[in-house]
Amino acid sequence: MADAPTPKPWIDAIHAYVPGKSTGADGRPLIKLSANENPLGCSPAALAARAVEPQRYPDPDSTALRAAIAQVHGLNPARVVMGTGSDELLNLAAQGYAGVGDEVLFSRFSFSVYDIAARRCGATPVVAPDADFGADVDALLALVSERTRVVFIANPNNPTGSFLPRGEIARLHAALPADVLLVVDQAYAEYLAPEDDDGALALAEAHGNVLVTRTFSKIYGLAGERIGWATGAPGLIATLNRIRGPFNVSNTGQAMAEAAVADQAFVTHARDHNRAERTRFVAALEALGNHGLRPLPSEANFVLILFGGALTAETAYNGLAERGYIVRWLPGQGLPQALRITIGTARQMGDIAAALREMAEAAK
């Protein structure tokens, strides 16, 4: 028999994305605070919009959904493209603009899909050093070469929660050559107060080389439906439309997202809940500073905690699992000293803070 087909060497080099687990070692279901999902679920209007004809293909252009998104954000619907989650759009952006011999640049401790997106199309990922776990514009700019084709920045960033203000995004964009695509991944942007907008949507409207991606997976609470969108100049949108799946958002997904985006009261409620619980959780963690715990400042729906004392991140991860909570431990992303915990309900966050205190005191 002939040998099995050989994958391309750049595909062979990819480390598959490892999602957070949702069961314990014994198979028990755990309360999942490992994937930055919305603890409040989704808008009731979105749930009610579910029933549509499953035997029919969806609208290939997601026309009504794009119009609803454009209206809420003051965009031209012709400049909006939908994806099967924003993951698809991040991958398409790399595929559309980078290939073998090219470089794709991003910061250390940013979203792990950027590395996969670069390698999938044969490009070389280039990783810039961070500044105290956040993106560093000067470090990114220092690594721009004539081979750089795409720069990814998550703002707010996953997994650290850090945020680059408007001036830093503008400075990064202004210093990039016009033929380099800047992708601003705003998966967590709705968690920011509106006045803290990083200005990327305006840059995408004004310039030919800025793509902004958003998702319905986070504040809209529709992660299971796989719906993301991107906006940018007509040329960028045309490229993504040429290479995306023709029916890449399902009937149900389109209907639910359209209802969800029309319910901005739910978004405001989820943002307020997140801010209040995150503030309370961070204050409880800061009180454990003498045990070596350090929560990083977060603008998103999770907090990254660094463990520098007798209680290690691994022990805390296992201890929380014993108490029924699955959170994200990140040794595979160069952060063996850190746990990323999604902001859940008030009761869940109170439980977790109390458990961390108990474990930190026992570890002394």
- Note the residues at the interface with ligand PMP (CB under 6 A): 36, 85-87, 111, 154, 158, 185, 187, 215, 217, 223, 228
CB of 186 to ligand PMP, least distance (A): 8
Q: Please identify, using beta-carbon distances, which residue of 185 and 299 lies nearer to ligand PMP.
A: 185
Q: Please identify, using beta-carbon distances, which residue of 75 and 360 lies nearer to ligand PMP.
A: 75
CB of 187 to ligand PMP, least distance (A): 4
Q: Please identify, using beta-carbon distances, which residue of 161 and 288 lies nearer to ligand PMP.
A: 161
Token pair, residue 144, equals 């721009």
- Cα–Cα distance for residue pair 331/334, rounded to 1 Å: 5
- Cα–Cα distance for residue pair 268/306, rounded to 1 Å: 30
Q: Please identify, using beta-carbon distances, which residue of 62 and 158 lies nearer to ligand PMP.
A: 158
CB of 318 to ligand PMP, least distance (A): 23
| Cβ-based neighbours of 173, under 8 Å, separated by 6 or more | 182, 203, 207, 209, 210
Q: Please identify, using beta-carbon distances, which residue of 152 and 356 lies nearer to ligand PMP.
A: 152
Q: Please identify, using beta-carbon distances, which residue of 45 and 223 lies nearer to ligand PMP.
A: 223
CB of 53 to ligand PMP, least distance (A): 25
The residue number whose beta carbon is nearest to ligand PMP equals: 85
Token pair, residue 100, equals 């073998």
190-78-169 Cα angle (round to 5): 45
69-70-73 Cα angle (round to 5): 85
Q: Are 228 and 86 in contact (CB under 8 A)?
A: yes
Handedness of CA 154, 71, 81, 221 (dihedral sign): positive
Bridge partners (DSSP) listed for residue 83: 228
CB of 9 to ligand PMP, least distance (A): 27
Q: Are 343 and 281 in contact (CB under 8 A)?
A: yes
CB of 215 to ligand PMP, least distance (A): 3
- Look-up of token digits 């750089």: 148
